[in-house]
Structures are given as C-alpha cells and as structure tokens.
Amino acid sequence: EDQVTQSPEALRLQEGESSSLNCSYTVSGLRGLFWYRQDPGKGPEFLFTLYSAGEEKEKERLKATLTKKESFLHITAPKPEDSATYLCAVSAGGTSYGKLTFGQGTILTVHP
Amino acid sequence: NAGVTQTPKFQVLKTGQSMTLQCAQDMNHEYMSWYRQDPGMGLRLIHYSVGAGITDQGEVPNGYNVSRSTTEDFPLRLLSAAPSQTSVYFCASQTRGYTEAFFGQGTRLTVV
C-alpha cells in the first residue's frame, strides 16, 4: 500500500526565516511526486511535479527536491502570503491511471 | 477557461436524504476523480474515471455512486446520506498518464 507522511504537521516562521517541509513516501514504483498549496476554503493548487531522484524545481521562493525516499519543499525568505497548507502526493506504477495518494499536509504560518 | 467547476459550494442534508454533487471540466481531460478531505486524514480517493463510460472505485467508495456519460461531467451521488459523510468534497481532472491533477473549489457537505 502506498503511503505518504508529511512533517511537521504545523510550522510557524517569522518573515524571512527560511525552512523546509518534508514528505516521506513508500510506494511500489514512483511515477511522480506532486506538491500542492491549499488556501483555506479553496481547492489544492498545483505547484510542482518531480519524476526522478535528484530532480529539482523552483518557483519564486519555493524549491522542491526529490530523493528515493523523500521530497523536501524549501521555502527561502518566506512572506506572510506564503501561509497555507502544503500537500504532497505520489502517483505510483501498476495502473495506467495516475491515482494520487496524499499526505496529511503541513500547515505553514508566516508571521510578519 | 473555467477549469474544474463544482456545484454547490455548500450543502446541508438530513440523514437518509440523497443528492448529487456536480463537477464539470472544460480542459478536455480524460481522467476525473472525486476526493474527500477530512481533518487529519488528508485527501482520500472516492471514485475515478479514465474516460466516458468507464468508472472505478477508489479508497473510500461506500455510500457513493458515479457515472460518466460525457468527457466534461462527472457527478457524485450520495444514495442515503449519513453523518459520516460530512466532509469537504473535491473533484479533479488530469490528462492521461502520471500527471498533476487540477482541482475544483470544493463542496462543503454537512449531514445532520
């Protein structure tokens, strides 16, 4: 059974204080790892896809990296508008359909 | 483009009532899915479809029914609502393969 565990559950940062969110996964044949951002009362918003170990993607203050067992979402000099829940999901092999298995998310709060 | 559109945004049902949550996408995506999101549980897959006329069960299918007569629409039916179905429901669509999912804004359902 595919499993995704995110840590920490909640993270509070001061504006400008860089940190990382972790996503550990156990799957049989990783096909893709996805990061989403979710604001209160909204649907998840796609951020990044990573397909193979060593791959990195960047967008503004966010950088996602991938190893064979985990992914990190690095946040550099965060701003209050980066406050949100960050979700990690994996898609595994075995079927032709990319079903997503999600972690529980990390609630990020950035204080001014 | 509207993307993925869900209706209604909020709904209150009495135990035993039935209803249909609507989902439509205008991106010509083959894959569509329904997830529920509960506190501490992450997003869990209810049902999915890999094309018109083809549906299958996800992780938590009991009490729900789906059909897909067109590429654009994927309604979710609650046959006899129970308090355990109180949740936030998200519809998503994807292109073929192991790709990112695009989510609607969600339907917050309360069963009393």
Closest chain A residue to B51, measured at CA: A97
Q: What confidence score (pLDDT) does residue B54 get?
A: 94
Residue A96, pLDDT above cutoff 60:
no
Chain B residues with CB inside 8 Å of A32's CB?
Answer: 98-100
Convert the pLDDT of each residue in B32-69 to its tens digit: 999 999 988 889 999 999 999 999 999 999 999 999 99
pLDDT (tens digit, 9 = 90+) per residue, B72-97?
999 999 999 999 999 999 999 999 88
Could you give the angle at the alpha carbon of B7 between the alpha carbons of B4 and B8, nearest 5°? 150
- The model's pLDDT over A30-77, given as tens digits with 9 standing for 90+, comes to 999 999 999 999 999 999 999 999 999 999 999 999 999 999 999 999
Residues of A in contact with B44 (CB under 8 A): 102
- The answer to whether the Cβ–Cβ distance between A41 and B41 falls below 8 Å is no
Pairing type for strands B87-94 and B107-111 reads antiparallel
Kindly identify which residue of chain B lies nearest to residue A104, measuring between CA atoms: B42
B44 touches chain A (CB under 8 A): yes
Cα(A110)–Cα(B15) distance, rounded to whole angstroms?
Answer: 40
Centroid of chain to Cα B80: 16
